[in-house]
Amino acid sequence: MQNIQSYVQEHKDRFINELIELLKIPSVSADTAYKDDVIKTAEEIRKSLVSAGCSAVEICETPGYPIVYGEKIIDKNLPTVLVYGHYDVQPADPIELWDSPPFEPIIKNTDIHPDGAIFARGACDDKGQMYMHVKALEIMTQTNQLPCNIKFMIEGEEEVGSKSLSWFVERNQEKLSNDVILISDTGMIAKDVPSITTGLRGLSYVEVEVTGPNRDLHSGLYGGAVANPINILTKMIASLHDDNNHITVPGFYDKVENLSEEERAEMAKAPFSLESYKKALDIKAVYGEEGYTTNERNSIRPTLDVNGIWGGYTGEGAKTVIASKAYAKISMRLVPNQDWVEITELFKKHFESIAPDAVTVKVTPHHGGQGYVTPIDNIGYKAASKAYQDTFGKTPIPQRSGGSIPIVSLFEKELKSKTILMGFGLDSDAIHSPNEHFGVWNYLKGIETIPLFYKYFTELNK
């Protein structure tokens, strides 16, 4: 497919500029202040699908943010690939830690990206990776080599739990019917180590509230005599891990799938340098569950982490006070077979049971989703593998990721199809963090690789 490479070379400046325009719209789904921008982004995606060659494109209204749907059906007897992506982004804060404004994209060179990287919120997660698919469609239609049918479903609520997408998928099974789902919303091991994501962790996200006295108190007059909710909360949280960093919630590990020694040995073959890992994060040592390697801890093992904790006085200077309430947001990353609803229940029961009588505790579930693992002995995986082989000159490594895209397990349940996760981001791209970026090289390489997936998927289906 030589002309794909030359098409990319010829049009790369425009491909980059189009993405930059998209990144200028702050489509933050978590914050209603950006509502109009989120909706505007959906409209821009719609236009881009039309110009890339989709014949039917619509903005589908939902109870929440719209879903952009488009398709190009060339022959009902050919296979159909459903592309999923999201146009919403994470909030940009803490904004003061960005070296350039999050919604004013700029291209800068870095050690890892000597050809430049686009810095902006959403550059990698997921506007940049999603847009690779729009451009791949453009190339296939412009060069007359779209080999099969294609459907696009781009949502605007991924970063807040994909509630409206579940609603949409449940109501549109026929419309969304496909032979394989293709997503670029994950990463790869390194620029010279292509990988295909074969697993995602599930998630249970909860908020806890600990209440002590009915009002904030003078810490001299009452200190020592009544429970301090912040002291109690931190003690309760500390007790959620034992000395080996195992999670202490009863029943938490009951359904965890244990990998065989062979599978673990296979995983350990993926190139990984603990020294570079520590260096990249400026840490002296790694930390985690006893008996597992770093790569196991962040992919095949479940976790429990506090994502935020607050209460009491945090303003300037000192205020002597015992707060009435303390709060925390806690996420649990889950592995296949652990059911997020069940885990949320187990957590709630346990957390309430460990609270001393001196306080009351409220646990409020936020959202969650199941994990996902995909086998590698299917046509979709093989097609992806061959595509990377062509453009990277190397067979990609299957890799289970620690991140979550909860909707993927729902796709399997409702649409009965497997998902192929072709991610082109790097862990160092700082998704969800200040200074998120996406390598120009990665962006263009993705655009080049995706059309080959279609080619091989269609061929292998014959």
Binding site for Mn ion (CB under 5 A): 125-126, 185
- Of 41, 164, 178, 186, the residue at the interface with ligand BES (CB under 6 A) is 186
Min separation Cβ 77 and ligand BES, Å: 34
- Of 126, 155, 157, 429, the residue at the interface with ligand BES (CB under 6 A) is 126
The CA-to-CA distance between both ends of the chain, in Å, stands at 19
Min separation Cβ 116 and ligand BES, Å: 22
- Of 122, 187, 229, 451, the residue at the interface with ligand BES (CB under 6 A) is 187
299 contact, one of Mn ion, ligand BES, none, CB 5-8 Å limit per kind = none
Min separation Cβ 141 and ligand BES, Å: 27
Label each residue of the chain as H, E or C.
CHHHHHHHHHHHHHHHHHHHHHHCCCCECCCHHHHHHHHHHHHHHHHHHHHHCCCEEEEECCCCCCEEEEEECCCCCCCEEEEEEECCECCCCCHHHCCCCCCCCEEECCCCCCCCEEECCCCCCCHHHHHHHHHHHHHHHHCCCCCCEEEEEEECCHHHCCHHHHHHHHHCCCCCCCCEEEECCCECCECCECEEEEEECEEEEEEEEEECCCCCEECCCCCCCCCCHHHHHHHHHHCCECCCCCECCCCCCCCCCCCCHHHHHHHHCCCCCHHHHHHHHCCCCCCCCCCCCHHHHCCCCCEEEEEEEEECCCCCCCCCEECCEEEEEEEEEECCCCCHHHHHHHHHHHHHHCCCCCCEEEEEEEEEECCEECCCCCHHHHHHHHHHHHHHCCCCEEEECCCCCCHHHHHHHHHCCCEEECCCECHHHCCCCCCCEEEHHHHHHHHHHHHHHHHHHHHHHC
List the 437-439 sheet strands across, edge first: 106-108, 117-119, 437-439
Contacts to ligand BES from residues 192-231, by CB under 6 A? 200, 203
Residue 122 sits in the site that holds ligand BES (CB under 6 A): no
398 contact, one of Mn ion, ligand BES, none, CB 5-8 Å limit per kind = none
In whole angstroms, what separates CA 447 from the centre of its chain?
20
161 contact, one of ligand BES, Mn ion, none, CB 5-8 Å limit per kind = ligand BES
Min separation Cβ 437 and Mn ion, Å: 14
**Distance between CA atoms of residues 440 and 358, nearest Å:** 56
Picking from 422, 426, 371, 418, the residue whose alpha carbon sits closest to that of residue 397 is 422
403 contact, one of Mn ion, ligand BES, none, CB 5-8 Å limit per kind = ligand BES
Min separation Cβ 427 and ligand BES, Å: 8
**From its phi and psi, is residue 235 left (phi > 0), alpha (psi between -120 and 50) or beta?**
alpha
Tell me the number of residues near ligand BES by CB under 6 A.
15
Min separation Cβ 90 and Mn ion, Å: 6
- Of 71, 125, 179, 436, the residue at the interface with ligand BES (CB under 6 A) is 125
Name which of 49 and 203 has its Cβ closer to ligand BES.
203
Q: Is there a contact between 350 and 249 (Cβ–Cβ < 8 Å)?
A: yes
138 contact, one of ligand BES, Mn ion, none, CB 5-8 Å limit per kind = none
Name which of 267 and 407 has its Cβ closer to Mn ion.
407
**Distance between CA atoms of residues 28 and 90, nearest Å:** 6
**Distance between CA atoms of residues 388 and 366, nearest Å:** 38
Residue 439 sits in the site that holds ligand BES (CB under 6 A): no
Q: Which stretch binds ligand BES (CB under 6 A): 98-106, 146-154, 166-174, 180-188?
A: 180-188
Min separation Cβ 86 and Mn ion, Å: 6
Name which of 403 and 451 has its Cβ closer to ligand BES.
403
Name which of 152 and 252 has its Cβ closer to Mn ion.
152
Contacts to ligand BES from residues 385-414, by CB under 6 A? 401, 403-406
Name which of 101 and 402 has its Cβ closer to ligand BES.
402
380 contact, one of Mn ion, ligand BES, none, CB 5-8 Å limit per kind = none
Residue 185 sits in the site that holds ligand BES (CB under 6 A): yes
Residue 159 sits in the site that holds ligand BES (CB under 6 A): yes
Name which of 125 and 179 has its Cβ closer to Mn ion.
125
**Distance between CA atoms of residues 381 and 371, nearest Å:** 18
Contacts to ligand BES from residues 139-158, by CB under 6 A? 158
212 contact, one of Mn ion, ligand BES, none, CB 5-8 Å limit per kind = none
Residue nearest to ligand BES (CB): 403
Residue 436 sits in the site that holds ligand BES (CB under 6 A): no
Min separation Cβ 130 and Mn ion, Å: 9
Name which of 159 and 179 has its Cβ closer to ligand BES.
159
> Interface with ligand BES by CB under 6 A: which residues?
125-126, 158-159, 161, 185-187, 200, 203, 401, 403-406
